[in-house]
Amino acid sequence: MDALHKNNENKPHVVFVPHPIQSHIKGMLKLARLLHHNGIQVTFVNTQSNHYRLFKSTDPNGPGFQFKTIPDGLPSTGDVSEHGHNQTLRHVSSYLHINFLDSFLELVSRLESPVTSIIADGLMTFANTGGAAERLGVPVMHYWAFAACGFMAIYQAKVLVEKGILPLEG
């Protein structure tokens, strides 16, 4: 076993799972880079289409951590469907709801060093990241990749609807 591989076995290994939206991916990349800069091994998992878009629009190879992909049910070219972004996001979310867990566990089983934790986007609950963490026996942290005011709006939306404040009229 070479020294680099042996050295990585002793480091914490965090797997990042962003929501398949560019702003969420970029926010999680910043956190992943910070953790990697502080000696934590990082695997950043994107859907295939977003991985293609990320590498097409930027060079994410700076920090030296590994990027991996899971299928997303979209064409392999990474093109957005003719129905637009929202249709594509619905399609990806639906596909991941059904297929994420098996694809993710398969990916993790092929990694060279054991995963010690998962940091998943808070909006990835439809993808069962908690179930993956439970099966792997590692902790999961949900990272909310948007401002506190946005989180509070989502958090309070049900109460606002119940009180008749939402939806807004006119």
Sign of CA dihedral 67, 71, 77, 80: negative
Let me know if 24 is a catalytic residue. yes
Catalytic residue among 19, 36, 51, 121: 121
The SS3 of residue 120 is: strand
Please identify which residue in the block is written with the tokens 């005011």. 149
Catalytic residue among 13, 19, 24, 36: 24
Let me know if 37 is a catalytic residue. no
Most distant CA pair in the chain: distance in Å? Answer: 67
Q: Distance (Å, rounded) from C-alpha 46 to C-alpha 25?
A: 8
Burial 76-114 (b: 16+ CB within 10 A, else e): eebeeeeeeeeebeeebbebbeeebbebbeebbeeeebe
Structure tokens at 134: 């439970």
Q: What amino acid positions are annotated as catalytic residues?
A: 24, 121
